[in-house]
Structure 1
Amino acid sequence: MIRHRHIDLICGGAILLALVLTGLLCFGEALGLRPASAAPGYASRLFDDGRVHTVDLRVEDWAAFLENAPAEEYIPCTAVIDGEEFYQVGLRAKGNNSLRLTEEYGLSRYSLKLEFDHYVDGGNYHGLDKFSLDASFQDNSYLKTYLVYDMMDYMEVPAPLCSYAWVTVNGQPWGLFLAIEEPEEAFARRNFGPDHGQLYKPDYRSLRAENADVALRYINDDPASYPNLFDNAKFDVDEADQARLIEALRVLSTGENLETAVNVDQVLRYFTVQVFVMNWDSYLGHTGHNYFLYEEDGILSILPWDYNLAFGTYALGMTNPVRDPDVLINWPVNTPARGEVMLERPLYHNLMKNRDYFARYHAYFGQLLSEYFESGRYEAVIRQAQVMIVPYVEVDPTAFCSYEDHLLAVDTLLEVCRLRSESIRGQLEGNYPITLAQQESNPGAGVDASHVDLRALGDFDDLEAAKERQNEAAAIAGVE
């Protein structure tokens, strides 16, 4: 038996403390406390974007890996991240058109994917299950994806964490890559908590197909009609998950009561950034892909992904790609796609038919312009990153461009952002065309961007010039 003259006070205090701790656990988020899932260990390690990290890939036969890279099959490797070793990590090449063109041009700098739980159950990097190493394909600035994710984050759109990494292979220099948090379990927990919803990466099997499900169009109530959604789910999907998503698409198709099926505010913020950066390798382009779809309790959100072809540099698969900088940089924000595409993109089109949502969309543009661009934040983000990465770009053995081309690309990106901001401000104030119809009726109206060469941001000519140096680096890295 415990005897103490203050035993009643001690017991009462212990009970009170337990109640307080229970309350914090249950209601901490409502009180403004960040849950543990919101700040996982990997966020302050690999994704500390204030420095360039190191990733050494120890691979038994690098030459064989490169030869088989287009198959996107995993091999085991040891990944040494900032000096910390992780064994039996799954490694494969990744990409779509970038992977195909890297192979076609005889190049070897593929974007890569590292999966910690591919061979080892529960394997992780301080809570992270998977991340990618983006090769900056057709991005001579090395900054397009980095900048867009910062813009998305600023506009409170859940975006992957990212940071720069100097990658070596078997100790030999391979190049400067952008490490990106892959949207899977760790990403979902960080952004939406442990009881998160479902996450999908819709993608087409063939561009020649209709791909209505990738466009988020309601087809019918049969889950089999949505293979490009459900076959690309990041987590196990049951019948209830399928039913909720299909019902959300049905409501979206009606254009009515959209807030019962769509996280309207988040989607509007996403499209504000998406339209600013002129990214047509996306939901608003003819491919309709390169986004993540999040569903929770029957509510849909769209999340950002893949921006190496943003800022008007996308031309793949287009019969007559637009190259005129005056047209691209003045691209109207009210009709960011041509009519035949717009009508097939209900997540944008049906929201914009609502006057209140349309006004809010314009208001978010006003916020993005005044707070991010006109304030000079974008220039600070670009210049700070450039100062950090430029020593690595200068000696990058597999770079897609020369060092001088990189410097030109950074200056070009800054000018594109400045002019795009000026154009959109003029559109919102009624000084420049804000629809494609107005633009066609008033050719030449808008900011003068004729001095800008968008090819400086990355073009096909760079791929041919990069072949010799990439092959040389591959030969060196293949020798342990």
Structure 2
Amino acid sequence: MKISILTKLFFLSITGFIIIVSCSKEKLEDDTPTPIVKEVVPKITPKGTEKYLSKNSDYVYNQEGVKTYQLIFRDDDLYKINADPTKEEYVEAALVFEGDTISPVGVRYKGSIGAYVGCVSGRDWTNPSGYKTCVKLSMQVKINWQDRKERFYDLNKLQFHSQNYDKSQLRERLGYWLFAQMGVPAPRSVHARVVVNGQLWGLFGLTEEIDNRFAEYFYKNGKGDIYKEVWPLKPTGEVQTDKAFIDALKTNEEKPDVSFFKEFGSAFAASNTTNAKDLVRKYMDVNQIISYAVVDRLIRHDDGPFHWYCNDLASCYNHNYYWFEDKKNRKMHLIPWDLDGAFEHILRNTNNITPIADKWGEISNNCSLINLGNPAFSQRSAACDKLTAAWAGFKTEYADLKKHLQQNILTDEKTIKQMDIWAKQIEPFIKEADAFHNSGITNEFNKKATSEATWNSAVNTLKNQVKFARTQQ
């Protein structure tokens, strides 16, 4: 490996080592000494034979085990991002993985409001602010930092999700797996053990970034762009503006061409009940989009594209989804996102903010605002949107696909067995974080990591919710 001047400075700046001591009785992976960066994050030029350059992303998202990722920051940089995580500012760090060091990379905290609830010092959860108070916060690691050309197992970014909200640590992974089982391209998700500056942070969900690498992996016969959280139609039923489409682009931002997405939106803006289903057939894969709706509704992904939050009828919006615009084959694909609340509203509504008021395709209050108990979070029925209403018109297809999901996938032999496999994988790391972070803390509310007892209870709750979903009409 070629050693740059900065790399030499890196090694000169090592003033000591921190030994990561496993608190689990089991031997855990990669408990190796970690150098402390005091002065500069090294610039390491790969020699070209590193494993991360020769294998593709299937290695990262292999479902067979839990891998350890180490991040090394300058103390000042770690202090900087911890002082105000909600700024989501990148700082430099080194990524150490299975004997290879990728340095520098960019690292920032990430997430919507829910990712910071209870984890920053500010008191207004609707406008998170302040310093970091949780052990874990979701992070993005940018491999293509400072125009780096080499990818990490063919990836440009890594996303580590804290899963602080989900005590089972399984909902997100399970949700994406179910979409994939039904033939819907969805981010791959595994678990990862994360160590920062020699200190165990714990177990994270490592979930695939939806970007050009995702598009090339899942849509090998297509060519187009990724958009985040832009609906083709405004709440008024008109097609979105060019600016809205351009602002939502996640690929090809330098030379945006939104003409096909706009054509798609314009077609449905002008549609009626007579031709709407034909337009779906023209612009989408019917089996794929109806499968999407079936999974979304059966897992109660109530904070996704079918939840329209409204201040008034003109300002309704939805979120937590992406689009792939396949210009080559002239098809649009909806991609699921942010599933850490999957199944939570199955048995009962666990809060009065995210639940959707209607069953699939139904309309409440004549498309006026709906209030489920929290006036700050009114909503409108999803089927008031022309595009969603067009999908809801495929009643036979929806019923058949729902039956398939309930009878052939959400079974003890398939889904519960898969959950047991994952639970066995992550149990040693739940125990490790419990012992490492909760030593001497007896009050469950004050524990810094999910305790083993809380985790076991949450896994059993999720299993019961999955079993109940089989019976949903």
SS at match of 2:187: coil
Other-structure match for 1:350: 390
Q: 1:110 aligns with which of 124, 129, 137?
A: 137
CA-atom RMSD in angstroms: 2.8
Whole-Å separation in 1 of the counterparts to 2:256 and 2:202? 45
For the 8 Å contact 1:199–1:294, the answer to whether it is kept is yes
Other-structure match for 2:88: 72
Amino acid across the alignment from 1:50: E
SS at match of 2:308: coil
Whole-Å separation in 2 of the counterparts to 1:194 and 1:69? 39
Q: 1:89 to 1:322 in 2, by over 3 A?
A: closer
Other-structure match for 1:302: 334
Higher RCO (C-alpha under 8 Å, 6+ residues apart): 1
SS at match of 1:128: coil
- Return the offset for 1:156: 1.0
SS at match of 2:204: strand
Q: 1:362 to 1:46 in 2, by over 3 A?
A: same
Other-structure match for 1:18: none
Whole-Å separation in 2 of the counterparts to 1:73 and 1:385? 33
Whole-Å separation in 2 of the counterparts to 1:116 and 1:238? 20
Number of residues paired by the alignment? 363
For the 8 Å contact 1:280–1:286, the answer to whether it is kept is no
Residues 169-209 of structure 1: per-residue CA shift (max 9 Å, x gap): 01210110011110112111111127521111116xxxxxx
1:136 aligns with 2:163: yes
1:270 aligns with 2:292: yes
Whole-Å separation in 2 of the counterparts to 1:319 and 1:418? 21
Q: 1:218 to 1:77 in 2, by over 3 A?
A: farther
Residues 340-363 of structure 1: per-residue CA shift (max 9 Å, x gap): 32244433222212xxx2211111
Greater CA drift, 212-221 or 53-62: 212-221
Whole-Å separation in 2 of the counterparts to 1:175 and 1:117? 25
- Return the offset for 1:41: 2.8
Amino acid across the alignment from 1:168: V
Residues 281-338 of structure 1: per-residue CA shift (max 9 Å, x gap): 1111134110111111342110111111222359xxx994489xxx99xx84554988
SS at match of 2:334: strand
Amino acid across the alignment from 1:260: K
Greater CA drift, 137-146 or 261-270: 261-270
Residues 387-419 of structure 1: per-residue CA shift (max 9 Å, x gap): 110111122256553221111000000001101
SS at match of 1:376: helix
Residues 219-273 of structure 1: per-residue CA shift (max 9 Å, x gap): 247513xx2x321211125888322111101222315232222232211111111
SS at match of 1:42: coil
1:250 aligns with 2:242: no
1:65-464 matches, within 5 Å, as: 65-101=81-117, 102-103=119-120, 104=122, 107-108=133-134, 109-193=136-220, 196-202=223-229, 219-220=238-239, 222-224=241-243, 227=244, 229-236=245-252, 241-253=257-269, 254-255=271-272, 256=275, 257-258=278-279, 259-287=281-309, 288-297=318-327, 298-312=330-344, 320-321=352-353, 332-335=359-362, 340-353=380-393, 357-374=394-411, 376-396=413-433, 397=436, 400-422=449-471, 424=472, 427=473
SS at match of 1:44: coil
Whole-Å separation in 2 of the counterparts to 1:122 and 1:277? 39
Amino acid across the alignment from 1:352: A
SS at match of 1:198: strand
For the 8 Å contact 2:232–2:264, the answer to whether it is kept is no
SS at match of 2:381: helix
| Gap runs ≥5 in structure 2 | 1-53, 124-131, 310-317, 368-379, 438-447
Q: In percent, how many aligned pairs have the same letter?
A: 21
Whole-Å separation in 2 of the counterparts to 1:249 and 1:178? 34
Q: 1:221 to 1:232 in 2, by over 3 A?
A: closer
SS at match of 2:65: coil
Whole-Å separation in 2 of the counterparts to 1:137 and 1:89? 25
| Gap runs ≥5 in structure 1 | 1-39, 204-211, 428-480
- Return the offset for 1:120: 3.4
Whole-Å separation in 1 of the counterparts to 2:429 and 2:233? 38
1:10-89 matches, within 5 Å, as: 41-61=55-75, 62-89=78-105
Residues 348-380 of structure 1: per-residue CA shift (max 9 Å, x gap): 222212xxx221111111111111113531101
Q: 1:343 to 1:270 in 2, by over 3 A?
A: closer
TM-score, normalising length: structure 2: 0.70
Greater CA drift, 235-244 or 129-138: 235-244
For the 8 Å contact 1:248–1:262, the answer to whether it is kept is no
- Return the offset for 1:131: 1.8
Whole-Å separation in 1 of the counterparts to 2:254 and 2:99? 41
For the 8 Å contact 1:53–1:166, the answer to whether it is kept is yes
Amino acid across the alignment from 1:187: F
Other-structure match for 1:455: none
SS at match of 2:203: strand
TM-score, normalising length: structure 1: 0.69
Q: 1:336 to 1:58 in 2, by over 3 A?
A: farther
For the 8 Å contact 1:252–1:261, the answer to whether it is kept is no
SS at match of 2:470: helix
Greater CA drift, 148-157 or 284-293: 284-293
Greater CA drift, 242-251 or 367-376: 367-376
SS at match of 1:351: helix
Whole-Å separation in 2 of the counterparts to 1:234 and 1:271? 24
For the 8 Å contact 1:138–1:400, the answer to whether it is kept is no
SS at match of 1:51: coil
Greater CA drift, 77-86 or 108-117: 77-86
Greater CA drift, 406-415 or 374-383: 374-383
SS at match of 2:166: coil
For the 8 Å contact 1:283–1:345, the answer to whether it is kept is no
Whole-Å separation in 1 of the counterparts to 2:195 and 2:401? 41
For the 8 Å contact 1:91–1:113, the answer to whether it is kept is yes
Amino acid across the alignment from 1:223: D
Residues 45-68 of structure 1: per-residue CA shift (max 9 Å, x gap): 221121010000101122322113
- Return the offset for 1:139: 0.2
Whole-Å separation in 2 of the counterparts to 1:299 and 1:369? 28
